[in-house]
Structure 1
Amino acid sequence: MRAAQLLKPGLVVSHRAAARLWQIETLATGPPDCLEFTDPALRARQGLADVRIHRIPLPESDTVKWAGLRVTRVPRTLADLLRSGPMDDAVVAVESALTYRRVDGRRRPPVTTPAAVSLALQAPLLGSARARDWLRIVDLRTGSPAETVARLRMLDAGLLPETQAEVRTPDGRRRYLDFLFRPEGLAVEVEGYAYHGTRDAHRRDIARFNQILQCPEVRSLLRFSAEDVFHRVEWVVGEVERTLAALRR
């Protein structure tokens, strides 16, 4: 990023490159090493390897200095992602930025607010109307990129589960489920890449799911990995639909 700005001083780090600096999760669509910049002067040509330059208006108020780099502020970064798409990547980024997340091994608090993102989308730029529609489907109860993608694909299929649904174990303790189809009693959990980590975590995991299955609200439980969601989400949605149909009989 520094080298690109030295070669083309007018460029501003933006889009997914800015999201990385702000510790905002994305789906990392596109070439993994491609850096994204915005040219406020609307004059720069590509000309740099592994660099994508967006030529769109960018007021100085939407930029900030970050460790010597010129970077788009968080609300503008999210607005740019919402305008440019794709939808899954943009919604993942917004939900990540607006909630507590564990990024790079550390718990990171929210880095902006819904009101700030909405305000950033008021600029009359290409894609703003669609971006505002995508902002409306953001769910701040979603806890990870995999959960976001699973929810969006279920939404596409007409499935509307509760997210982070509260249930109670027989002894009165609260448990929160990634997704719950409460009328049918179907709980759906999406586990991250390093979900267990240790033997103790694995044991706690087993105990938790045993407790969930004892909750009066839960008749059946489906568990999927993040890999399932990212690489065969059609199968995931199909399993949910088949289980719901069986529970309704």
Structure 2
Amino acid sequence: MTGDETSLRARADAQGGVVLTAQALAGGWTRGRLSRFLTAEGWTRIRPGAWLVPGREAGWAELLWTHQLLRPELVVSHWSAAMLHGVEAGPPGEHPAAVPDFICPGSAAVKGATLHRLPLAPGEVTVVAGLRVTTVARTMADLLRAGPRDEALVAVDSALSWRHGRGSGPPGSRGRPLTTLDDIGRALTRAPSLRGAGTAAWWLAMADPRSGSPAETLARLRMNDAGLHPETQVMLVVPATGRRVYPDFLFRPQGLAVETEGYTWHGTRAQHQRDVIRFNDLAACREVRRILRFTSADVRHRPAMMIRDIRDALA
């Protein structure tokens, strides 16, 4: 019996572009013929015993497939799971998931990946894009336990709100929350003795499902750290038109609205037009006497300047 090229490619396509040498041999290939075929067709060896179809780069998803195929007991977790669920975790190119994360209690080390030896209940595992992954609630609980705070809360706010969907999460998931505060809280209480559980519960209390972007989440945390506690995403009505507008932050007694720009640049005329209309609507609201706007770079890299400007405007 000889291996079939079409079946081999089909199997790889069903596994994120990855196929194992062991799978090919079980399918009837001989080692010599398989080696000649893979070399001639330009397949890439990702790891010993794992090959990637021609024309595809070994990105984070392909690495997850490779590790899980080689070690089926591994469950994708932490930042890798967050990416699979489509959770928004920061500006493009700055996602924390530089190294694949997996949970497997008691397993040996995994070369090229981070292994978390944590307890895992059957109900805390789901399947996303063919991979075994921790559920959204368990993923958020793990991020909160592990920290750092700001990155974890950016992810939690995304999972709780409408803004997620940049990753490869379930089809149709964009526009509705992936989980709830109660579900994350229950995931935390299932293992209250785990390191970081107490701090995680404290941080979870800082989450806000109304947050509209990572920059907004970070700005809220920066203000809270500075003792500033504005209303978030409060509904205001434009007197002349009756349109509703939701400022990112409102210091109502002082009439100060604070707006943060997300990571996506307003690069089209339509987006720019919507931005101008929103600004004018906000300025026309009776509750607003002044508006401050900050970029995502201000929030991330110049928070002291942002806080100083807000304090000056409130004085």
TM-score by length of 1: 0.90
Structure 2 residue corresponding to 1:5, chosen from 65, 68, 73 = 68
Quote the residue 1:138 is aligned against.
207
- 1:161 paired with 2:224, answer no
Structure with bigger strand share is 1
1:26 CA drift (Å) = 1.7
CA gap of 1:32–1:119, structure 2 versus 1, over 3 A, is closer
1:195 CA drift (Å) = 4.3
Quote the residue 1:208 is aligned against.
278
1:30 CA drift (Å) = 7.7
Which structure has the larger Rg over C-alpha atoms? Answer: 2
Quote the residue 2:79 is aligned against.
16
Matched residues, percent identical? 51
Quote the residue 2:117 is aligned against.
55
* Partners of 2:89 and 2:95 within 8 A in 1: no
Structure 2: runs of 5+ lacking an equivalent: 1-63
- 1:101 counterpart SS class: coil
What is the aligned length?
A: 242
Q: Pairwise mapping of residues 79-94 of structure 1 onto structure 2 (< 5 A)? A: 79-94=141-156
Q: Which has the higher contact order (CA 8 A, sep 6+)?
A: 1
Superimposed CA distance per residue, residues 136-193 of structure 1 (whole angstroms, 9 cap, x where no aligned partner): 1111111111100000000000001000022222313321100000000110111123
Which one is further off, 96-105 or 231-240? 96-105
- 1:185 paired with 2:250, answer no
**In structure 1, distance between residues paired with 2:164 and 2:75:** 27
- 1:77 paired with 2:157, answer no
1:119 CA drift (Å) = 0.8
Quote the residue 2:295 is aligned against.
225
Letter paired with 2:227: G
Structure 1: runs of 5+ lacking an equivalent: none
Superimposed CA distance per residue, residues 66-113 of structure 1 (whole angstroms, 9 cap, x where no aligned partner): 333221111111110111111111111111111111533983321112
TM-score by length of 2: 0.72
* Partners of 1:101 and 1:143 within 8 A in 2: yes
Structure 1 residue corresponding to 2:107, chosen from 30, 36, 43 = 43
Which one is further off, 193-202 or 25-34? 25-34
Letter paired with 1:34: V
**In structure 2, distance between residues paired with 1:20 and 1:201:** 26
* Partners of 2:74 and 2:102 within 8 A in 1: yes
